Structure 1
Amino acid sequence: MVSVWQTPELSDEIIKGDEIFESTTCIVADIVSAKIDIMCLVQNMAGVLTSKEVEYREKGMRFFTKVLKELPKDYLTQMQVRFISNFYTDRLRDYHRVIPPVLEGYLAIFEMENYDMQKSGEFLRALFREVPCQSQVRQDRLNIYLIIKKLLEKDVEHMKSMGPNFAYGFISAMDGERDPRNLLFLFEFIPTFLRHIPLGHLVDGMFEVISCYYPIDFHPSPDDPQAVSRQDLADELGPCLCAIPEFGEQCLILLIDKLDSTLRTAKMDSLKLLALSCRTFKAEAYGPFLKALWSSLNREISHKTDDELKMSAHEALSTLIAKLATSANTDQVFENFIKGILISMQTAIAESTTVAQLVQATKVLLTTANASNESCVIVTKAMIPAALAYYELNPSPKLQIATLDFLGDLNDITKHWEVTEQIEKQIIEIPQLCLTAVSQPSKEYQIAGFKTLIRVKSVLQSELVLPFVEVLIHNIQHSQENDVLSVSVEAVHAIARKYPELIMSYVVKGKCDLDNLTRDKDALQKRLNLLSNLASIDDFTKVIIEEMLKVITSDDQDASKVVEALSESMSNASLYTVQKVTQIESDYGLINSILTWLLKELSSTTKESLTHGFALISNTMSSLPAEKQQIVLSKHMQFVLEKSKTEESYFVVLECLYNSLHETVYEPNFPDIMSLSLQWALLSDNDEIRNKACGLVAHFLNKAPFGDKFDALYEVLKNHLSSCNRDDEQLCPKVIMLYGWIAKALVLRGSDMFHFWLQKIIAVLSHPNYTKLGAKAIHLIMTDFPDHLNAKYHCRISLLYRQRMFQNFSVLTEKLAVSCQTKESVLLSWAYILERAPKSVLNNEIKKVAPLVIDSLLFDNKDLLLVMTDVLSHFVKTKHMVIADSTQTILPRLLVLTKYVKSMDVRINSLQCLFDIANTYPTQLVLPYKQDVLFDLAPSLDDKKRLVRNMAVKARTRWFLIGAPGEPTPN
């Protein structure tokens, strides 16, 4: 049977209705199977395509375009594609209603494999001549831009050969575009167009068309589901304005003009544009404008309150200097510009009377120096001597200390650019100034001087070492200030790396008298801290560690102080790397010495004095590879295990040996140790023993490989818990906390078994007598601990465990029976979950979370209120309308919390929420509450805490501005 599309009746079917449009798949199949030729199809459509009725011609073109789009791209021959291309080009002269399917069809044509790019010129000439782009609807305009973009992508060279007419046509087509989505498409495409198509005499015209949109002044409709933001448009417009070097003069004139405007967005966009332009424009393009640019940049850098604007100005200045530095060896423009900045800032420094004024000027100099190798040399050569002189001439302690920091910053920049040798003559003077500062009795001077010395240690001369050592050792022996002691030890360490022989002689053998380490009891602990710090340096390790271990193993009464010093220093990863700790253990048997001392002291000393020994063993074990851990266990495990069965104090030794094991370490006695840990976790009355026992249970469950080994441990756990007396009121709190540890261990490793234990905890939440313990168990699961279940101790950590906790807790609490007695604990548990949950999870579940947050504002619980006000502030800033709809409920509760006497932080958080509400939601939403809020905020202005008063002023000012002329637009 002959199909209708194989006959001239096809035109009548198209005119009759839209049913024929559903047959295009069959038509395409017939064309591909050669049952009908596409030329014949066009002939059969002649009636509709040449109809006098525009409506019918439009339907005909829509029908044929649909067929074209469904055809395989490689099916039509070159002759057929040419014929169709000519046909579509001719259709551009038709009535405007016919144009949309023509444009859509041509998009399909040039994607054909046999499309002849020669035909694109004819089509574009007809398009630009016959179709006024800006008179078309949005989608048709977008299709015109798409045709131009895709043709350029298909054959750049051919499009270039079309000459300036192509560029003129594109400029004319886009001139006057106002739709934000189309503009975003154009702004993304224009830089590519400009890089490939020469503009010739059209440069000014193109720039004028683009620059009329600058700066973007646009705010999307809140009802638009595909809204384009102002920032989206601004980010894409900038690269268009500086896409080619030919735009240089016009672009710079434009951005300087907008920098001088009063509109903040114009300033921000112009600063970003200046930085962007440096990627394209040549250095010489900036020459005529440098004076104006520096004037504008300096003004924005000096802004008193807008930190974001200041940061953008610094970034723009840095980028500009880096660009100018590329011409440093060819002209004087760069050097003159840097010298102009130097003169301005030197004047500002000389006139500074406050630290803020000084820092503002020095930040500009640091930005300048950090921009390029060449600017670094110029600035540091001039400013190091100037800063040294300023220090001497200015008697203000605060300004002198700020000057020391500035010198340290300059030194860091010279190291970054590796130009220290070029300015050695200047920089070598800084350590002498540091010595002058540390010789002052003032704590602030000493800290600043030593911190700067640490930064410039590479240029410290040997003749200054002894004077510094005298001051440093005096501090270490006599200072009672922890921060002075800390920086003094750090300074000795820094000097020791440069002059190990001198420090060995002056400090280790001299002032610290290592050979008679414990003879002098004065400031012994401080000297031990210094020596253990220095032991991390290879040149000092052997002599210091050996002497310290002698003290530990010789029944010396000061051994505990030596252990404390070693533990404090070796737990500092910036001093002792994993490799360094492993090396010390291998070379000197550190664990064996500490264990011997611990086991001997356990019977005669209070356990509190041995804490550092336990920590030192645990830290050392965590640094060892698996095979060395097993060697240590084989030496000491049996004795410690037997003693731990009867004496809980020995269990701490067992715990510090086993909690740091790698996942791969597993021994047959692990079930016995698991049973012992459970025993002390549930029977001990000592909180520390119980926590360590629970922690070790959790470590075993977290690390044991799934299979027989895990099953053996899990069986021990179930048997032990099943034998517990559930009616024992003293045992129940211990069991609940153990549930928390078990659930934490399992969820961290990503095991679904944690769900069972979480159910038990949630069941506890509904019991009035134990609900607080249930919340405490949830807190335990969500909290990170430095000594348990972390990467340092080789535990398995699932990246998504907080999301899983949120989802499972959410599901399990849906049907939880909540009473007045348990509601606070349930909400507190939610707070612990929300505090750690990723913000993306909260955003997706706002309808569930928001009511919990709002309910929590009624409870007198500091921990609950702190978390929930933070979450509320987040929801407000992300403009969730769920919160906006509850404003009438939220505002009175927040106003009550601004007077919450138990916590300054709660008062600050509630004031922050009030500020965010006024600063985020539309005026019409918050205006009705303005007067009540202003009245209730008045008492906070007299709060006894300065930080609360500051936040109250900020919040009240923002509420006062609601509805006022010139009110700031919500972000």
Structure 2
Amino acid sequence: MRTREEELKSLGTDFTFGFIQVMDGEKDPRNLLVAFQIVHDLVLKGYALGPFVEELFEVTSCYFPIDFTPPPNDPHGIQREDLIVSLRAVLASTPQFAEFLLPLLIEKMDSELQSAKLDAVQTLSACCAIYGPKELQEFLPSLWASLRREVFQTASEKLEAECLGALTALAACLSHAVLHADTHDLLDTFLSSVLQDCRHHLCEPDMKLVWPSAKLLQAAASASLRAYHHIAGSVLPLLLEQYNQHPQSSQRRTILEMLLGFLELLQKWGHEEGDETVLLGVRAPLCSVVFSALMDPSVQLQVVGVRALTVLGALPGLLVASDLDLAVDHLTRLVLHEEDPQSSMAAMEAAGTLAPAHPGAFTDHMVRALAQELQTEREDEGTRRQRCLQALAAVSTHPSIVCETVPVLLQHLRHLQRGSEPGDTGKMALLCHSLHRVAVQSQHDPESCSFYHQAVVPCLLGLALQAALQEDALLAPGKALLEEEALTSMVPVISAASTHLSPELAVQSAALIVPLFLDGDVSFLPQNSFPCSFQPFQDGPCLAAQRRLVTLLMAFICSLPRNVPIPQQDRLLGELLALSCACDCPFAATAAAKCFAGLVNKHPEGLQLDEVLQLALNRLEPGLAEGPRRTQALGLLLWVTKALVLRYHPLSSRLTDKVLALLGDAELGPAAAEGLGLLLGDAPDVLHRGCHADVRLMYRQRFFTDNVPRLVQGFHAAHSDVKANYLKGLSHVLNHLPKPVLVTELSTLLPLLLEALSCPDRGVQLSTLRCLQPLLLEAPRALSSSWAARAGEDPARATPCTTDNRTPRLARPCRQCHQANPTRFLPGPEGSTFAVPTLHPGAPATQEGAGRAQARVALHMPPE
């Protein structure tokens, strides 16, 4: 048929009849797959069927529904689903089969066998895409009766969903009929039957069949815009009437959820094709119902009301100006005054969704009210302030609104900074979280992104400098802004404000911010009158506060695209390198190391980069060898190594060797082991794709291949005092490795993983448990097979070992391992079982109880 199509077609119906005879009685599933494909080609490629249409249908439909269970270890791999799909394609291939197939489908839908029902309904849906209204007309009453019965009576959610999908497919097929003056409208007749059988259930006092009826009506209405108008025009007024007749909140919520379903359907076609005339007729009572729900004391009803309001507001022309103002006022009230956070959060999200369509209303009402509330002192100001900040961020989804909300947030930050006391960093962190959300929402709008960056970044830098340049800055009023929590919360704000800048603005900002840190040029800051100069890279104890602000430089400079030139880059790299090695403040030293690494990662290849890296090596080697700042040197080594590993730089191997060598160091070994996790983990602030870092594909797999054998070798050669460092480092590497890669290496690595579980170092145990837990879920057979092979090779190693873990940090991953394999035992060699870490029987499920529980690992061998 592939190579001699014309010759076969020239045989006419003789070829079709001959094939029918050959196929009749076939039972081999391999042959059936081929036969179904041949029948499919006979139909679609125009072979002559002649008088043999019914015979061709009979010879294929006798296999419907497919009843096939593949034998165990079937080498051919043919599954039941393969045969079902192939046969379904044949049965639905031509309208000529309709008169024979549709009665068969109705028969199977009315049977007692669930699998037959499901197959029949799915086949009906497939047929509706091929058949026309003419083929369906005779069978519509029976098809509707069968579908309705299943939705009303079935306990299977899957079958119910398929029946609703088939109803939609039927109505969609009828919607495509071309209407003439003298033709009968099959869609109108069919939908009238649906309404007649379902509409009255919406009015029943007990509301038993309300949801099945609503689902059927919505399924029919979703078929086409014409179907929607027919159904919704009859159902919406009835539902609005029922809402007002039921006083209970639970019943009202049910009715409003049904109304919401019909409103959401109208969004399916969009405004260009959609026609809201059916809603315009009920606009006033619909708005009244939604506003009533927003005022109801029931939180569940309020939330549904907010969802309905969101859909109403998104449909053009449905809310007049007065309704829109009232809607925004309701949302503002829920945000500020509703005690339940569920309603408040729903209102915030609704505001963010509706604000782009109605920016003026939200600016005039919600933003103004939130700004006034921030200036009001109240007893419960903590909760109220937090909601205000969250709402201001949520509603900032339009450029004009961003221009209003950002100044409000910055003014509040200035207010907090002026009156801040110890412990006020939490308030600043909350505000920065809101600023960060606005930044993320503004990234893809050039106007918003430009405004946000130029307003926020100079303001944050100015406030930070104002705090840092006071005498005894760390003890002065406003010092909360210099604490780690506050500065750390500012980093994602500046980063998000800088990642999507236009090339021109990025270059302009770099030309201002880099000289600020290198030369103390504060001229571009909004408040540029300071008591002393800004010199973060200079020596001196009085400059400690200034050096902490290098983390803000890191946030900006490491978030710029790679093609943005950095002014005075060599000088900047030198200053960062010196600060990272010589600073006594770990926070500032780490920030400098990160910033240096971020610039190195994006630096173009060439002699200039080689010189920078050589300078770094010259600093690192003596710093790691001895002295009081070995920890700072290790931090720099780790971040530079990560920067080079990500981009596959040749020097990364040499630096990685230095990290691995430090695992045997008594002082730095534990930190070096943790550093292996840093090398392969995702850093939140630098060296990730979101900030345009040079991150190559599969770098983790490459690191694993190059370095894990050396880790294993180092473990066996190491002194017992430092073996735990190698185990911890290995578990960190494995935790960041894609699980399919890890599974292939289990047979080699399992002995070390088991050794790690018996290590007294709880950090090693914790990291190893986190590595094992997903393997128990995703590859239990591979894990047990590897264990069986290991125990078979070396039964002497199959000895129980127990560790008492009395901390919640260990108990939780133990519990997760237990949940991943509830039986607690994996099959081992010759009947042995491998017990995964589990809580001691009877231990409480609470965090405190888990902390007192015992996690144990044991190999239980059968008695001799």
TM over 0.5: yes
Shift of the 386–202 alpha-carbon distance from structure 1 to 2, 3 Å rule, reads same
Q: Identity, % of aligned pairs? A: 22
2:517 is matched with which residue: 636, 640, 649?
Answer: 640
CA contact (8 A) 1:303 1:310 kept: no
Aligned partner of residue 165 in structure 1, secondary structure: helix
Shift of the 174–462 alpha-carbon distance from structure 1 to 2, 3 Å rule, reads same
Residues 854-933 of structure 1 mapped to structure 2, 5 A cutoff: 861-862=765-766, 864-876=768-780, 903=811, 906-907=814-815, 910-914=818-822
Give yes or no for the alignment of 1:620 onto 2:497.
yes
CA contact (8 A) 1:432 1:464 kept: no
Q: Deviations over 1:580-604 (max 9, x none)?
A: 3433158x65433443333223234
Q: Deviations over 1:780-836 (max 9, x none)?
A: 233334322233312223233343344335444453425887777666655555555
Shift of 1:166: 0.8
Aligned mates of 2:229, 2:823 — CA distance in 1: 46
> Letter of the aligned partner of 2:676 in structure 1?
I
Aligned mates of 2:670, 2:160 — CA distance in 1: 49
Shift of the 519–485 alpha-carbon distance from structure 1 to 2, 3 Å rule, reads same
Give yes or no for the alignment of 1:237 onto 2:87.
yes
Shift of the 202–166 alpha-carbon distance from structure 1 to 2, 3 Å rule, reads same
Q: Deviations over 1:613-663 (max 9, x none)?
A: 554333222231233222222223223235221342231232233121211
Shift of the 854–615 alpha-carbon distance from structure 1 to 2, 3 Å rule, reads closer
> Letter of the aligned partner of 2:28 in structure 1?
D
Aligned mates of 1:407, 1:497 — CA distance in 2: 24
- Could you say which residue in structure 2 is the equivalent of 1:600? 466
> Letter of the aligned partner of 1:620 in structure 2?
A
- Could you say which residue in structure 2 is the equivalent of 1:159? 8
Shift of 1:547: 7.1
Aligned partner of residue 322 in structure 1, secondary structure: helix
- Could you say which residue in structure 2 is the equivalent of 1:407? 259
Aligned mates of 1:626, 1:585 — CA distance in 2: 16
Q: How well do the aligned residues superpose, as a CA RMSD in angstroms?
A: 4.9
Residues 699-718 of structure 1 mapped to structure 2, 5 A cutoff: 699-718=598-617
2:237 is matched with which residue: 361, 385, 404?
Answer: 385
Shift of 1:754: 3.5
Shift of the 736–536 alpha-carbon distance from structure 1 to 2, 3 Å rule, reads same
- Could you say which residue in structure 2 is the equivalent of 1:183? 32
The more displaced of 496-505 and 227-236 is 496-505
- How many residues are matched? 781
Q: Deviations over 1:682-711 (max 9, x none)?
A: 555655434433332331222111123432
Q: Deviations over 1:104-158 (max 9, x none)?
A: xxxxxxxxxxxxxxxxxxxxxxxxxxxxxxxxxxxxxxxxxxxx44322xx2xx4
> Letter of the aligned partner of 1:872 in structure 2?
L
Aligned mates of 2:839, 2:417 — CA distance in 1: 65
CA contact (8 A) 1:177 1:183 kept: yes
Shift of the 313–912 alpha-carbon distance from structure 1 to 2, 3 Å rule, reads farther
The more displaced of 359-368 and 282-291 is 359-368
Q: Deviations over 1:533-556 (max 9, x none)?
A: 656534445566567778888999
2:562 is matched with which residue: 633, 653, 663?
Answer: 663
Aligned mates of 2:20, 2:56 — CA distance in 1: 6
Give yes or no for the alignment of 1:653 onto 2:552.
yes
> Letter of the aligned partner of 1:334 in structure 2?
L
CA contact (8 A) 2:439 2:449 kept: no
- Could you say which residue in structure 2 is the equivalent of 1:422? 277
Larger radius of gyration: 1
Aligned partner of residue 575 in structure 1, secondary structure: helix
Q: Deviations over 1:222-273 (max 9, x none)?
A: 5454432332233222212222222223333334444455655544443432
Shift of 1:768: 7.3
> Letter of the aligned partner of 1:417 in structure 2?
W
Aligned mates of 2:582, 2:648 — CA distance in 1: 30
- Could you say which residue in structure 2 is the equivalent of 1:170? 19
Aligned mates of 1:581, 1:234 — CA distance in 2: 53
Give yes or no for the alignment of 1:212 onto 2:51.
no
Aligned partner of residue 775 in structure 2, secondary structure: helix
- Could you say which residue in structure 2 is the equivalent of 1:817? 715
CA contact (8 A) 2:65 2:119 kept: yes
- Could you say which residue in structure 1 is the equivalent of 2:43? 194
Which ranges in structure 1 are unaligned for 5 or more consecutive residues? 1-147, 949-971
Aligned mates of 1:927, 1:322 — CA distance in 2: 60
Aligned mates of 2:516, 2:334 — CA distance in 1: 44
Aligned mates of 1:780, 1:302 — CA distance in 2: 56
- Could you say which residue in structure 2 is the equivalent of 1:749? 647
Shift of the 663–373 alpha-carbon distance from structure 1 to 2, 3 Å rule, reads same
Give yes or no for the alignment of 1:436 onto 2:331.
no
Shift of the 562–293 alpha-carbon distance from structure 1 to 2, 3 Å rule, reads same
Aligned mates of 1:916, 1:205 — CA distance in 2: 57
Give yes or no for the alignment of 1:449 onto 2:305.
yes
> Letter of the aligned partner of 1:568 in structure 2?
S
Shift of 1:865: 2.8
Q: TM-score, normalization: structure 2?
A: 0.76
- Could you say which residue in structure 1 is the equivalent of 2:853? none
Q: Which has the higher helix share?
A: 1
Aligned mates of 1:268, 1:651 — CA distance in 2: 64
Shift of the 597–817 alpha-carbon distance from structure 1 to 2, 3 Å rule, reads closer
Q: TM-score, normalization: structure 1?
A: 0.68
The more displaced of 557-566 and 588-597 is 557-566
> Letter of the aligned partner of 2:98 in structure 1?
G
Aligned mates of 1:832, 1:301 — CA distance in 2: 51
1:793 is matched with which residue: 691, 697, 705?
Answer: 691
Shift of 1:160: 2.5
Q: Deviations over 1:437-486 (max 9, x none)?
A: 22234544444322331221142232234444444444444456655444
The more displaced of 829-838 and 233-242 is 829-838
- Could you say which residue in structure 2 is the equivalent of 1:580? 447
> Letter of the aligned partner of 2:443 in structure 1?
T
CA contact (8 A) 1:342 1:365 kept: yes
> Letter of the aligned partner of 1:186 in structure 2?
A
Aligned mates of 2:652, 2:205 — CA distance in 1: 62
- Could you say which residue in structure 2 is the equivalent of 1:591? 457
> Letter of the aligned partner of 1:423 in structure 2?
V
Shift of the 877–441 alpha-carbon distance from structure 1 to 2, 3 Å rule, reads farther
